[in-house]
């Protein structure tokens, strides 16, 4: 094309890829399924052997689940359809889907051709109108005068501005196309994420995860309750054993009670004889108590007399204290002359101290009188030949 194109090289590559895909659709050939059917017939015997093995494994699993008391797993479903018929139906549906896919590919290819033709027409019209606009701008701008300088605008500057306008328009077109593609991709990704979150009608992945969490919590609770049941069974067994043991003990006690009743009857006769002897013993006890009171009174009298004798004797009953008292008296006699010497020494020292104090008092009086007389003589001065008068002195200024 002589006119400039508003399409980048990346867009041209994408158009080429779309054309190649269209050619692949046109060259689509239906798949031959005959060799697959033959291979399926050959694999039927192997399928039977696998089926037998599967039944054996199912039996083992059933025995295992019965031991674990999980009979809810062994419940059969209501769908009794042959798997071979299901497979054939799936193949037929696949063939129909392939035919529909080929038709849709052809229809989309035709629509793409129509859209490309419309695009080429609109692109040619756009280029023609853009070239006409730029030629008109060049004609208008060639004779213009700059208001600041008052000179005519050069043609090179006009061409540069027109070229810049063309470059900017191409850049804007490429950016818009990239934005549209990214927007479509984002929409596709959002749809894919939404499809991943949605499992079916009114069924979401978040609900499934929540149900899984609840299932795990319920299974934990069931395990805890099973453990509690096991503990209670152990307790019940222990309590049953205790009850049996208690019953045996009760039977043995009843036998012992019967034997004790017989012994009690035998002892009752003996107790009558003993009661007579007991009465005799009581009478003897009263007599003994009377004699005991008299003996206690005599004992108390002897104790009081002994205490009086001890009080009257004083220190005679305590020889250690007597010996210690004699030693202390001897020591006092030995220390009496020392006390007299200390008293004499104290009186002499007291007299000496009094003499020293008197001497100190006399010396102080003498010193005081001498100091006063010296101060008087120093303070007296002659005034106009008169010794009796003295010069008055003012006190020093502070």
More confident residue, 370 or 36: 36
Hey, where are the domains in the chain?
Answer: 33-73, 80-141, 151-200, 308-352
Q: Are 6 and 170 in contact (CB under 8 A)?
A: yes
Q: Is the per-residue pLDDT at 392 higher than 80?
A: no
Lowest-confidence range among 139-143, 209-213, 263-267? 139-143
CB atoms near residue 151 (< 10 Å): 8
pLDDT over 60 at 398, yes or no: no
Cβ pair 286, 276 in contact under 8 A: no
Question: Mean pLDDT: which of 54-58, 80-84, 219-223 is highest?
Answer: 219-223
Q: Quick check: 7 pLDDT over 70?
A: no
Candidate from 101-105, 131-135, 148-152, 256-260 with smallest mean pLDDT: 148-152
pLDDT computed for residue 24 by the predictor:
53
Q: Which residues contact 25 (CB under 8 A, 6 or more apart)?
A: 102, 105, 106, 108, 109
Answer whether residue 287 shows pLDDT above 50: yes
pLDDT (0 to 100) of residue 6: 44
Judge contact between 143 and 152, C-beta under 8 A: yes
| Model pLDDT for residues 324-334, shown as the tens digit of each residue | 888 888 888 88
Q: Judge residue 165's burial from the number of C-beta atoms within 10 Å of its C-beta, 0-12 exposed, 13-18 middle, 19 or more buried.
A: middle
* Number of helical H runs and strand E runs in the chain: 7, 2
C-alpha span between 169 and 249 (Å, rounded): 111
Residue 379 · residue 390 · CB < 8 Å: yes
pLDDT of residue 3: 39
Say how many Å lie between the first and final Cα of the chain, rounded: 125
What is the rounded average pLDDT of the residues 379-386? 48
Q: Could you tell me the pLDDT band of residue 21, with boundaries at 50, 70 and 90?
A: low
Reported pTM: 0.33
Sign, Cα dihedral of 333, 338, 340, 343 = negative
> Do residues 4 and 127 make contact, with C-beta atoms less than 8 angstroms apart?
yes
- Whether the pLDDT of residue 223 is over 60: the answer is yes
Residue 315 vs residue 138, higher pLDDT: 138
Is it the case that residue 282 has pLDDT exceeding 90?
no
Mean pLDDT over all residues of the chain? Answer: 79
Q: pLDDT tens digits, residue range 168-212?
A: 988 998 999 899 999 999 999 988 888 777 766 667 777 778 888
pLDDT band of 100, cuts 50, 70, 90: very high
pLDDT greater at residue 71 or residue 164? 164
The continuous run of DSSP H or E covering 235 comes out as: helix 205-313
pLDDT band for 278, please (50, 70, 90 cuts): confident
> What is the C-alpha to C-alpha distance for residues 163 and 143, in angstroms, rounded to an integer?
18
Residue 87 has pLDDT above 80, yes or no: yes
């Amino acid at each position: 094309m002589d006119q400039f194109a508003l399409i980048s090289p990346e867009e041209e590559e994408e158009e080429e890829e779309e054309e190649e895909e269209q050619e692949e659709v046109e060259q689509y050939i239906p798949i031959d399924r005959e060799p697959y059917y033959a291979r399926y017939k050959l694999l039927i015997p192997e399928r039977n052997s696998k089926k037998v093995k599967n039944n054996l494994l199912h039996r083992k699993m059933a025995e295992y689940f019965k031991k674990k008391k999980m009979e809810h797993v062994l419940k059969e479903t209501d769908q009794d359809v042959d798997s071979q018929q299901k497979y054939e139906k799936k193949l037929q549906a696949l063939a129909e889907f392939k035919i529909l896919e080929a038709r849709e590919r052809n229809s989309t290819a035709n629509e793409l051709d129509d859209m490309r033709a419309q695009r080429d027409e609109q692109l040619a019209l756009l280029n023609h109108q853009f070239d006409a606009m730029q030629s008109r701008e060049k004609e208008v701008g060639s004779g213009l005068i700059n208001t600041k300088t008052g000179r005519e605008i050069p043609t090179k500057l006009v061409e540069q501005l027109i070229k810049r306008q063309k470059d900017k328009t191409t850049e804007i077109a490429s950016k818009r196309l990239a934005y549209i593609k990214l927007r479509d991709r984002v929409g596709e990704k959002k749809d894919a994420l939404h499809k991943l979150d949605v499992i079916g009608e009114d069924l979401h992945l978040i609900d499934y995860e929540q149900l899984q969490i609840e299932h795990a919590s319920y299974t934990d609770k069931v395990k805890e309750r099973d453990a509690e049941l096991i503990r209670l069974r152990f307790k019940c067994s222990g309590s049953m054993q205790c009850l049996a043991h208690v019953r045996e003990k009760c039977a043995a006690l009843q036998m012992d009670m019967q034997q004790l009743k017989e012994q009690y009857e035998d002892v009752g006769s003996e107790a009558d004889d003993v009661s007579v002897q007991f009465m005799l013993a009581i009478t003897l006890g009263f007599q003994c108590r009377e004699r005991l009171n008299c003996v206690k009174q005599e004992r108390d009298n002897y104790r009081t007399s002994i205490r009086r004798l001890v009080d009257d004797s004083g220190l005679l009953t305590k020889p250690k204290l007597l010996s210690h008292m004699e030693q202390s008296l001897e020591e006092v006699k030995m220390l009496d002359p020392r006390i007299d010497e200390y008293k004499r020494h104290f009186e002499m020292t007291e007299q000496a101290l009094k003499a020293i104090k008197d001497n100190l008092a006399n010396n102080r009086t003498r010193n005081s009188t001498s100091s006063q007389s010296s101060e008087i003589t120093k303070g007296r001065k002659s005034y106009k030949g008169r010794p009796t008068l003295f010069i008055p002195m003012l006190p020093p200024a502070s």
